[in-house]
Amino acid sequence: MQPIRRTECGVALFDLLAGRPEDVAPRLLGATVRHVTDEGPVSLVLTETEAYGGEADPASHAWRGRRPRNLSMYMPAGHAYIYQTRHHLALNVVTGPQDEASAVLLRAGRVTEGESLARASRGPQIAAQRLARGPANLARSLSLTLDLDGLDLMGEGPLTLTLGDQVARIDVGPRVGVTRAQDVQWRFSVPGDSTVSAYRRASLR
DNA sequence: CTATAGATTACCT
DNA sequence: GGTAATCTATAGA
């Protein structure tokens, strides 16, 4: 019965991820991301997510269409889109139908496994709730690299996503740091959770 | 081609 | 609060 249960669970997760990013993002709060590195596994429970709506969304990396960097956004739901901005990486879960290029940015989480490994990447003095606060810190806690871009998060690879219990209450607000579509309320977080990053509106220059 | 900006963070004052 | 770290992509000459 074990393989059947796993299959049903996988189908349910894919069906969820195939929905609209603004519907998927709040449902991913409480889900677990796990990366099995050479040093061992690191897991975290998501506390903050943001939705990006593909080519129709002026804040999305896919707004100007297919580019070498954003190709994995056009893959089927459940694949990883990992990109580099300035000096850091960020992890997205692709959502919606194939070729729509919508995704959910994973902005923060609470480390639940492999905290010593996360600390090895982030620094020995970092408070536990700050290890994976902010998308770049989340990526560093998980020891992500660009070669994980495009991986199937529902497969047998080293980087996986599994659903958890749905959280009871969810905060909704505008996305952090975007210069276009600043008032779209597509940022979701667990109310009062100390691992959630602070909201900062992008300057308009 | 050069200039500029970005879904950021850490460290300095 | 200001700035430096460092890669991709766009706009404009």
CATH class of A2-189: alpha beta
Instruction: Show which positions of strand B are touched by protein (CB under 7 A).
Output: 5-11
Confidence (pLDDT) at A203: 67
Residue A205 pLDDT > 60, yes or no? no
Domain spans of chain A, in order of start: 2-189
Q: For residue A64, what are its two tokens? A: 């100007």
> Are A107 and A138 contacting, i.e. CB atoms less than 8 angstroms apart?
yes
Q: What is the tens place of the pLDDT at every residue in A138-169?
A: 999 999 999 999 999 999 999 999 999 889 99
Burial A150-177 (b: 16+ CB within 10 A, else e): ebbbbeeeebbbeeeeebeebbeebbbb
- CA-to-C1' distance for A156 and B8, Å? 30
Q: Which nucleotide is nearest to A87 (CA to C1')?
A: C6
Distance CA A174, CA A165 (A): 24
Q: For residue A197, what are its two tokens? A: 């990053």
Distance CA A191, CA A197 (A): 11
> Per-residue pLDDT averaged across A69-90, rounded?
94
Strand C close residues, chain A 51-80, CB < 7 angstroms: 64-65, 67-70
> Per-residue pLDDT averaged across A81-91, rounded?
93
Q: Which nucleotide is nearest to A71 (CA to C1')?
A: C8
Question: Position of tokens 């993002």?
Answer: A25
Residue A112 pLDDT > 70, yes or no? yes
Which residues, 6+ apart, have CB-to-CB distance to A27 below 8 Å?
Answer: A16, A163, A166
Residue A8 pLDDT > 70, yes or no? no
Residue A1 pLDDT > 90, yes or no? no
What percentage of chain A carries pLDDT values higher than 90?
Answer: 80
Q: Residue A126 gets which letter from DSSP?
A: S
Confidence (pLDDT) at A204: 58
- CA-to-C1' distance for A172 and B12, Å? 34
The answer to whether A187 CB sits below 7 Å from nucleic acid chain B is: no
Give residue A5's pLDDT band: very low, low, confident or very high (50, 70, 90). low
The answer to whether A180 CB sits below 7 Å from nucleic acid chain C is: no
Which residues, 6+ apart, have CB-to-CB distance to A132 below 8 Å?
Answer: A44, A108, A109, A110, A111, A118, A138, A141, A142, A195
> Are A162 and A34 contacting, i.e. CB atoms less than 8 angstroms apart?
yes
Q: For residue A107, what are its two tokens? A: 């902005």
Length of chain A: 205
Q: What is the tens place of the pLDDT at every residue in A119-146?
A: 999 988 899 999 999 999 999 999 999 9
The answer to whether A123 CB sits below 7 Å from nucleic acid chain B is: yes
Confidence (pLDDT) at A142: 96
The answer to whether A166 CB sits below 7 Å from nucleic acid chain C is: no
Residue A49 pLDDT > 90, yes or no? yes
